[in-house]
């Protein structure tokens, strides 16, 4: 074994960074044996230097992250500060000054992954980011390496634990969205400002990263269609139950049937209780992958938290350190397929539409005609009437999102349709 240690700079020492530092210390011998050289924490960049950080030598702590990444003797920079800047500038500087990078930064990778990969490649360095998607769950490496010989057609995932906790609560207790969110906040699952989670931004960034790797195509955050889950109601769950379904916030990356394009989207959807993703409870994450040769695969585990995320970071650190020792680099960006990313209107799926209508002769025929005129085929219709008004639930066969939107617009203009109570896509069948 080499005795000269590989030097690691840690950018950020919060929930994840402090766990990375702790495991690097407590598992030092095992890590050295697995890598073939010891790894040494050579510097820790933080915003608040005065804070006591158990197990970290205060002499290593600095507020000057730029100077740390530019030192020239750093082998690996571990970036766990998150956000776009200064992370982007620091990572780029790290490559230019001889370091490889391990990052957990989904927002940055989703927005600027191509430029960062290019900077890594220009400088002959590694960029690894297993922790950026679904915390501890090995997903990036299986997609990038284990499935490199297969053809992935679909990635369907629960990639946000906060929203899964909220939806699971609504499902199991009949609670409304706000009540379930309040509980998630009280238990520390939801942030004080939960927007990134509940509006689907976090999941959309992960979808962009997964789609890019799965389809060997650049997929940027802006390419991902996004709907949050704040409008999901207890009534939606009741309807889902009647259909033998539950509701999940899903990240869905798909290759079109003709293989010529891809789509990526995040929105709440009904899925059958028989689907493996339906049984993913609480704040857990899971990703279901469908490929030509392997068939169906499911990856499951904790998608957030200091220790689980640190597990993924440490796995990358070991891989990158091994590459340093062998003088090699791991796989970089694979975007050779360059498939176009189609808009949401081209997505084809099933829909569950809940309408409030007048309960009088001809209304059902009128509604059915609108569906027919837009080429949307009805699978089932359920009606419940009361005092001259009725609730009509229509479940469609597969149709394009554009056709469904046209249908709903036309339905809204009918006098007999009092309102469109909810529209929910039905996935995983």
- Interface positions with ligand HSE (CB under 6 A): 160-162, 197, 202, 303-304
Q: Which is nearer to ligand HSE, 32 or 250 (CB)?
A: 250
Q: For ligand HSE, which is the closer residue by CB, 201 or 371?
A: 201
- Shortest reach from residue 202's CB to ligand HSE, in Å: 5
Q: Minimum Å distance from CB 304 to ligand HSE?
A: 4
C-alpha to C-alpha distance for 234 and 236, rounded to whole angstroms: 5
Q: Among all chains, which residue has been given the structure tokens 């950020």?
A: 12
Query: Minimum CB separation from ligand HSE for residue 198, in Å?
Result: 10
Segment holding 408, helix H or strand E: helix 401-412
Task: Select 14 or 49, whichever has its Cβ closest to ligand HSE.
Answer: 14
HSE value, Cβ hemisphere, 13 Å, CA-based, for 140: 29
Going 83 to 214 to 134 to 118, the CA torsion angle's sign is negative
* Minimum distance of ligand HSE from residue 316's CB (angstroms): 16
Encoding tokens for residue 112?
Answer: 């600027």
Its sign, for the CA torsion 44, 50, 53, 58, is positive
The two tokens of residue 134 are: 């679904």
For ligand HSE, the closer CB: 142 or 302 = 302
Given a contact cutoff of 8 angstroms between Cβ atoms, the answer to whether 1 and 34 are in contact is no
Q: 3-class DSSP state for residue 251?
A: strand
Nearest approach in angstroms of CB 192 to ligand HSE is: 13
* CA distances, 14 to each of 18, 61, 93, 245, 305 (Å): 6, 13, 22, 39, 11
Residue 211: CB minimum distance to ligand HSE, A: 17
Give 95 or 201: the residue with its C-beta nearer to ligand HSE: 201
270 vs 283, beta carbon nearer ligand HSE: 283
d(CA 210, CA 137): 13
CB of 165 to ligand HSE, least distance (A): 8
Q: Active site includes 206?
A: yes
- What token pair was written down for 189? 């699952």
E strand or H helix at 153: strand 152-158
| CB-based contacts of 342, cutoff 8 Å, min separation 6 | 256, 261, 262, 263
Residue 111 vs 162, nearer CB to ligand HSE: 162
CB of 54 to ligand HSE, least distance (A): 23
Alpha-carbon Rg of the chain, whole angstroms?
Answer: 24
Instruction: List the catalytic residue out of 206, 241, 360, 386.
Output: 206
Residue 125 or residue 206: which is nearer to ligand HSE going by CB?
A: 206
Instruction: Count the helix, strand and coil residues of the chain and give each as a percent rounded to the nearest 5.
Output: 40, 25, 35
127 touches 332 (CB < 8 A): yes
Nearest to residue 79, comparing CAs of 124, 37, 127?
Answer: 127
Kindly give the interhelix angle for 201-215 and 106-122, rounded to the nearest 10 degrees: 40
Are the C-beta atoms of 289 and 172 separated by less than 8 Å?
Answer: no
CB atoms within 10 A of CB 44: 27
Q: Which of 198, 191, 199, 224 lies closest to 209 in space, CA to CA?
A: 224
Active site residues: 206
């Amino acid at each position: 074994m080499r005795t000269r240690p590989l030097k690691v700079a840690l950018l950020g020492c919060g929930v994840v960074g402090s766990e990375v530092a702790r495991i690097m210390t407590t598992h030092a011998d095992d890590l050295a044996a697995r890598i073939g050289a010891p790894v040494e924490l050579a510097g820790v960049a933080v915003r608040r230097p005065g804070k006591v950080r158990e197990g970290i030598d205060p002499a290593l702590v600095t507020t000057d992250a730029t100077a740390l990444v530019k030192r020239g003797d750093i082998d690996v920079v571990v970036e766990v500060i998150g956000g776009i800047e200064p992370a982007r500038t620091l990572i780029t500087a790290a490559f230019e000054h001889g370091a490889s990078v391990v990052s957990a930064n989904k927002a940055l990778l989703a927005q600027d992954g191509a430029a960062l990969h290019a900077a890594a490649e220009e400088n002959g360095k590694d960029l690894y980011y297993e922790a950026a998607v679904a915390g501890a769950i090995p997903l990036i490496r299986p997609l990038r390496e284990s499935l490199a010989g297969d053809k992935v057609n679909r990635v369907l995932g629960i990639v946000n634990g906060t929203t899964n906790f909220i939806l699971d609560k609504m499902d199991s207790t009949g609670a409304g969205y706000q009540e379930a969110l309040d509980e998630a906040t009280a238990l520390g699952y939801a942030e004080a400002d939960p927007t990134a989670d509940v509006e689907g931004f976090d999941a959309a960034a992960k979808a962009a990263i997964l789609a890019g790797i799965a389809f060997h195509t650049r997929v940027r955050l802006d390419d991902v269609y996004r709907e949050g889950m704040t409008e999901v109601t207890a009534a939606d769950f009741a309807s889902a139950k009647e259909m033998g379904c539950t509701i999940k916030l899903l990240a869905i990356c798909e290759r079109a049937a003709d293989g010529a394009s891809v789509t990526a989207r995040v929105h709440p959807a009904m899925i059958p209780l028989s689907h493996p993703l339906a049984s993913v409870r609480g704040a857990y994450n899971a990703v279901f992958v469908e490929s030509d040769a392997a068939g169906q695969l499911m990856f499951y585990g904790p998608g957030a938290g200091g220790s689980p995320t640190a597990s993924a970071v440490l796995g990358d650190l070991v891989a990158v350190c091994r590459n340093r020792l062998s003088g090699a680099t791991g796989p970089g960006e694979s975007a050779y397929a360059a498939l176009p990313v189609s808009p949401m209107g081209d997505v084809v799926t099933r829909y569950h539409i809940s309408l409030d209508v007048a309960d009088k002769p001809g209304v059902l025929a009128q509604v059915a005609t609108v569906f027919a005129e837009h080429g949307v085929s009805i699978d089932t219709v359920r009606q419940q009437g009361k005092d001259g008004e009725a609730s009509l639930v229509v479940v469609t066969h597969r149709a394009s999102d554009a056709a469904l939107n046209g249908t709903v617009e036309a339905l809204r203009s009918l006098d007999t349709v009092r309102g469109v109570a909810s529209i929910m896509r039905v996935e995983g069948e």
